Amino acid sequence: MGLFGFEGDDAREKVIVLLTMCFALAMAMLDNTVVNVALPRISRDLGAGVSGLQWIVDGYVLAFASLLLTGGILGDRYGRKKMFLGGLALFTLASLGCGLSPSTNWLIVFRAIQGVGGALLMPGTLSIITVTFPPHERAKAIGLWAGMSGLALALGPTVGGLMVERLGWESVFFLNVPIGIVAFLVATSTVRDSISEVTRRLDIPGLLLGTGTLFSATYGLIEANQLGWNDPVIVGSLVGAAVLLAAFLSWERRNPHAMMPLQFFRIPAFSAGNAVAFAVSLGMFATFFFLSLYMQGIHGFTPFQAGYKFLPMTLMIVLTAPNAGRYAQKHGSRGPMTYGLLLAGGGLLLLGLTLQPQSRYLWMLPVFMMMGHGMGSTMAPMTAAVMNSVGPQRAGLGSAMTNTSREVGGVLGIALLGTILTTRMNGAIKPALAALGLPAQQRAAIAAAAGHGLLDPSLLGGLSPLQTAGVYRAYSDAFMAGFHTSLIVGGCALLLAAIVANRFIPGRATVTHAPAIEHGEPVGVEA
Domain shared by 253 and 157, yes or no: no
Q: What is the mean pLDDT of residues 286-295?
A: 73
Residue 3 has pLDDT above 60, yes or no: no
Domain shared by 78 and 31, yes or no: yes
Question: Mean pLDDT of all residues in the chain?
Answer: 79
CB 403 within 8 A of CB 123: yes
Q: What is the mean pLDDT of residues 339-363?
A: 91
**pLDDT attached to residue 513:** 42
The answer to the question of residue 91 being in a domain is yes
Residue 30 has pLDDT above 70, yes or no: yes
- Percent of the residues in the chain that have a pLDDT greater than 90, as a whole number: 17
State the SS3 of 431-469: HHHHCCCCCHHHHHHHHHHHHCCCCCHHHHCCCCHHHHH
**pLDDT attached to residue 411:** 66
* Number of domains, the chain: 2
Tell me the three state secondary structure of residue 518.
strand
Q: What is the mean pLDDT of residues 296-318?
A: 77
Domain shared by 83 and 146, yes or no: yes
Last residue of a domain, one of 166, 183, 200: 200
Distance of CA 391 to the CA centre of its chain: 24
pLDDT tier at 527 (50, 70, 90 boundaries)?
Answer: very low
Is the pLDDT higher at 498 or at 14?
498
In this structure, are strands 521-523 and 516-518 parallel, antiparallel, or unpaired? Answer: antiparallel
Tell me the three state secondary structure of residue 37.
helix
The answer to the question of residue 17 being in a domain is yes
The answer to the question of residue 254 being in a domain is yes
Last residue of a domain, one of 215, 237, 258: 258
**pLDDT attached to residue 350:** 93
Domain shared by 187 and 215, yes or no: no
CA–CA dist 98, 47 (Å, integer):
15
The answer to the question of residue 337 being in a domain is no
Is the pLDDT higher at 123 or at 242?
242
Q: What is the mean pLDDT of residues 396-400?
A: 67
CA–CA dist 18, 145 (Å, integer):
8
Q: What is the mean pLDDT of residues 402-418?
A: 72
Buried b (16+ CB within 10 A) or exposed e, 258-291: bbbbebbeebbbbbbbbbbbbbbbbbbbbbbbbb
Q: DSSP secondary structure string, 286-298?
A: HHHHHHHHIIIII
Domain shared by 103 and 129, yes or no: yes
Is the pLDDT higher at 8 or at 325?
325
- Percent of the residues in the chain that have a pLDDT greater than 70, as a whole number: 82
Residue 481 has pLDDT above 80, yes or no: yes
Domain shared by 155 and 225, yes or no: no
Buried b (16+ CB within 10 A) or exposed e, 10-42: ebebbbbbbbbbbbbbbbbbbbbbbbbbbbebb
Last residue of a domain, one of 219, 236, 258: 258
Domain shared by 94 and 191, yes or no: yes
Residue 26 has pLDDT above 90, yes or no: no
Is the pLDDT higher at 214 or at 494?
494
Encoded amino acid at 174, one letter: F
Q: What is the mean pLDDT of residues 207-220?
A: 81
Domain shared by 166 and 117, yes or no: yes
Domain range enclosing 240: 204-258
Residue 508 has pLDDT above 80, yes or no: no
Domain shared by 226 and 191, yes or no: no
Least-confidence region, from 263-272, 332-341, 486-495: 263-272
The answer to the question of residue 361 being in a domain is no
Tell me the three state secondary structure of residue 512.
helix
Residue 398 has pLDDT above 90, yes or no: no
Domain shared by 15 and 63, yes or no: yes
Is the pLDDT higher at 371 or at 305?
371
Domain shared by 218 and 154, yes or no: no
Instruction: Give the CATH number of the domain where residue 101 resides.
Output: 1.20.1250.20
Is the pLDDT higher at 140 or at 115?
115
The answer to the question of residue 476 being in a domain is no
**pLDDT attached to residue 4:** 55
The answer to the question of residue 375 being in a domain is no
The answer to the question of residue 239 being in a domain is yes
**pLDDT attached to residue 198:** 59
pLDDT tier at 10 (50, 70, 90 boundaries)?
Answer: low
Domain shared by 208 and 191, yes or no: no
